[in-house]
Amino acid sequence: MFQPKIPPMPQPTGPVAPPAVVETTVTPAASTSPPAPVPAAPSRPAVQLTPGTALALVGGGTAVVLVVGAVLVSMLLAVAITAASVAVCAVVLRSLLHRR
């Protein structure tokens, strides 16, 4: 049941020719000159910040910080509300069980 079912290997049906043998000879090439030195690529120019791009970067960074902060605060608030509701339920259950 757990053994893999391997299909049988198909056998050739027609006449089979032996594989052809190819003989090759290697001849040494003429001496080659060393490759020419590659000129160094020009260095990239330094990034120049204009007042507009600097303002855009500051605005984008501020937006990212505000969004991440809002997400983290909302998660903390959700945990705090859940903890408070569990504490209230525990107090109510304790008082109900204590009366009996």
Half-sphere exposure of 83 (CA within 13 A, CB side): 6
What number of other Cβ atoms are within 10 A of residue 6's Cβ?
Answer: 6
pLDDT number for residue 70: 97
Question: Tens place of pLDDT for every residue, the chain, 100 residues?
Answer: 678 787 787 776 777 777 777 777 877 766 667 677 777 766 777 778 788 999 999 999 999 999 999 999 999 999 999 999 999 999 999 999 987 6
pTM of the predicted model, to two decimals? 0.45
**Rounded distance between C-alpha atoms, residue 64 and residue 59, angstroms:** 9
